[in-house]
Structure 1
Amino acid sequence: METLSRAIGALTGLSLGDALGMPTQSMSAERIAEEYGGGITGLVDATAAQPIAPNMKAGSVTDDTEQALLVARLIIEGEGHIDPMRLAHDLLDWEDDMRARGSLDLLGPSTKLALEQVRAGADISTTGRTGTTNGAAMRVTPVGIAHRAGEAGFADYVWESCRVTHNTVNGFQGAALVAAAVSHGIDGSAPREALDKAIDDVAALDAPGAWSAKANVLARTRIAMSLADEPDDAVFLRRLREENGTSVESNESVAAAFALARRYADEPVKALYAAASIGGDTDTMAAMAGGMLGAACGPDAFPADQVAKVRDVSHLDLEPIASRLVALRG
């Protein structure tokens, strides 16, 4: 039951973080302060100025949660494995549905480019070779729930989830870091311990995928984690934003999520508020930090009223999904 609770915590933290960051995604810290009267400290409606989800209702999740649950379904149906071609076509169907609903919250740049190649008939071994953004990392939490980090085959499970869209060392490392941190949390590691173990795990792997000239995700994550020891909160957040970055690139947003999770490991909801307020790819950073901290701390680490609102507004039923993923872990 403790394992199941932690799995529920991972999906709960992911969805709550996503919803908290929804109103601020792709906005600067200064614009967030102007639009929302300071930093985010709870679920709020998106304003008309929100560039991706204008006027979206408080408690609404975005592509981070929806794609993570899509991956969870494929893992369950595949008895632990993900068929990359099935993932590609399901993501294309998802975007078509979102577009039909009038949503602007569509596929990210790396995923969209790769899937358009799939739609045109390309071999999936050739797609995603420029995918260095965080699309694979944002949806990988179910892999960490279903599989144990450090065991033979873990890297292959992560690779199944990212190769079609993020066939790069950066894409793989970002996804593997998040999945491993979630997995160690599910196994009972304390939050900071889970983060450190994930870094050690990924450092030991021979990462698959195409080389990129962009900064290495693992190296940047280590640097960002060192910023978490900054005594002053405001200085920490400014340095993380300015020295690390908070864009959709894995080497910025995954690193930032790790730093936020480390600094606020004792107060998980503060990590989500900070991620939602820092500017940039706020919903994804908050979702990743929430998934990792929720796995280590369980669902009770987050405000019950906020969790209930997200589930009600976004029509989420996470317990059965968590249970089936945990069953595969055995």
Structure 2
Amino acid sequence: MTMPPAPTDLAAIPGTTADRALGALYGVALGDAMGMPGELWPRRRILDHFGWIDRFLPGPDGHFVVDGFVAGQVTDDTQQTMMLAGAILAGGGRARGEVVAEHLVAWADRVGATGGNFLGPSSERAIGLLRSGAPLEEAGVRGDTNGAAMRIVPVGVLVPSDDLDDLVDQVVECCRPSHYTDIAIGGAAMIAAAVSTAIDTGSVRDAVRAADRILDRAANHGNPAPGASLRRRLSMALSIVASDSDDDAVLQELYDVIGAGVATTEAVPTAVAIALMGGGDPVRTAVLCANLGGDTDTIGAMATGIAGAAGGFDAIPDELVATLESANDLSPLRDLALGLASHRTATSTS
């Protein structure tokens, strides 16, 4: 990918902020790659085929999306996260809908993302409309699935947690091209607020509280779409996680009651709850998501992005980072994370 010019004040980033910014973006890749083998398989099929996933595995033979993927390979979740981070930096450290749209279409063209099973329904529809010259709000007016939330971690890295109004504004800009509905914006704001708070506090519990609070600010943005309450689904998910049941039973209850599909109202509350269940440990969080069933790579990307923001890059073992980097072109990821963190630091001190 083409990188925008790097900011000149990287040395001003506090070490903790830099570590957690890196942890957030590498957390996306970790959760994505760990969840890749069982992507969109029912939970029972994952359990029958793999047993318990606790390491990187290749895509299963004949899988309708990831057949031929090697162990540690990421999906479009990480690719689109990197795309969005690059679009924000290209916009001078601000999310701008038109720039995001340009980068989204350019990414899809570069990797041949459309025309197969690679993209979610909202993104694929929006990219086709954008190519035809449709205005942003028309392209994204029906997008209510989890594609906006899955790639939104860069906004959480960019915006400090004491400026949640600006965070929502930038989430909205990121959602305009493909997911301009109140549900998608609300879900994306939940993930971004959780990441931002985790970077500032190092606490996944604080991050979960921020994910709930942000809905008051995000609720009135975008085209109204029918769907379940994100807040009530999150409350139910957190109650399930708070039970004394073992990991397998908790995951089954989340899968059965909250859901693990591509709907924002399923994937986002489940991801936030598993981030809490993982206790800020990126590896444990990624493993839990991989064994959940459903949209394992996307839920893994979101939940482990939050966990990585809380635990930091140092919480991800070197051998897992090495596998991720050997299986994928993640060479821009460090500069993207530090570039976003540089703008965050400049905002918080201005």
TM-score range, shorter chain: over 0.9
- On the 8 A contact 1:10/1:299 being kept in 2, the answer is yes
**Equivalence for 2:244:** 231
Q: TM-score, normalised by structure 1?
A: 0.94
**Equivalence for 1:161:** 174
**Equivalence for 1:292:** 306
Counterparts in 2 of 1:314 and 1:103: CA distance versus 1, 3 Å: farther
Residues 123-132 or 177-186, more deviating: 123-132
Instruction: Please state if 1:325 is matched with 2:340.
Output: yes
Q: How far apart, CA to CA, are the structure 2 residues paired with 1:267 and 1:95?
A: 32
CA deviations 1:57-80 (Å, max 9, x no partner) are 011111010000011111111122
Instruction: Please state if 1:210 is matched with 2:209.
Output: no
Residues 91-100 or 133-142, more deviating: 91-100
1:154-303 correspondence to structure 2 within 5 Å: 154-232=167-245, 233-303=247-317
- On the 8 A contact 1:53/1:104 being kept in 2, the answer is no
1:24-35 correspondence to structure 2 within 5 Å: 24-35=38-49
| Residue 201 (structure 1) shift | 2.5
CA deviations 1:267-317 (Å, max 9, x no partner) are 432221111111110000001011101001101222321121001211213
Letter in 1 for 2:177: V
Counterparts in 2 of 1:266 and 1:82: CA distance versus 1, 3 Å: closer
- On the 8 A contact 1:149/1:201 being kept in 2, the answer is no
Counterparts in 2 of 1:287 and 1:211: CA distance versus 1, 3 Å: same
SS of aligned partner of 1:81: coil
Q: How far apart, CA to CA, are the structure 1 residues paired with 2:166 and 2:172?
A: 10
Q: How far apart, CA to CA, are the structure 2 residues paired with 1:55 and 1:116?
A: 27
Instruction: Please state if 1:137 is matched with 2:149.
Output: yes
**Equivalence for 2:5:** none
SS of aligned partner of 2:136: coil
**Equivalence for 2:71:** 58
Unpaired stretches in structure 1, ≥5 consecutive residues: none
Q: In angstroms, what is the RMSD of aligned CA positions?
A: 1.8
User: Which contiguous aligned blocks of 4+ residues in structure 1 show a shift greater than 6 angstroms?
Assistant: none
- On the 8 A contact 2:105/2:130 being kept in 1, the answer is no
| Residue 221 (structure 1) shift | 1.7
- On the 8 A contact 2:202/2:309 being kept in 1, the answer is no
CA deviations 1:194-245 (Å, max 9, x no partner) are 1112211223444301112211223212221221112112221111000011
Q: How far apart, CA to CA, are the structure 2 residues paired with 1:181 and 1:44?
A: 28
Q: TM-score, normalised by structure 2?
A: 0.89
Letter in 2 for 1:279: G
Q: How far apart, CA to CA, are the structure 2 residues paired with 1:132 and 1:204?
A: 18
Q: How far apart, CA to CA, are the structure 1 residues paired with 2:40 and 2:110?
A: 22
Q: How far apart, CA to CA, are the structure 2 residues paired with 1:313 and 1:120?
A: 34
- On the 8 A contact 1:134/1:249 being kept in 2, the answer is yes
- On the 8 A contact 1:53/1:103 being kept in 2, the answer is no
**Equivalence for 1:47:** 60
| Residue 320 (structure 1) shift | 1.7
- On the 8 A contact 1:64/1:287 being kept in 2, the answer is yes
Instruction: Please state if 1:114 is matched with 2:129.
Output: no
Letter in 1 for 2:339: R
1:148 to 160, 165, 172: 160
Instruction: Please state if 1:87 is matched with 2:103.
Output: no
Q: How far apart, CA to CA, are the structure 2 residues paired with 1:197 and 1:96?
A: 36
Q: How far apart, CA to CA, are the structure 2 residues paired with 1:226 and 1:234?
A: 16
- On the 8 A contact 1:62/1:105 being kept in 2, the answer is no
Unpaired stretches in structure 2, ≥5 consecutive residues: 1-14
Q: How far apart, CA to CA, are the structure 2 residues paired with 1:210 and 1:307?
A: 39
Q: How far apart, CA to CA, are the structure 1 residues paired with 2:308 and 2:340?
A: 15
**Equivalence for 2:11:** none
Letter in 1 for 2:42: S
Residues 123-132 or 202-211, more deviating: 202-211
Residues 64-73 or 233-242, more deviating: 233-242
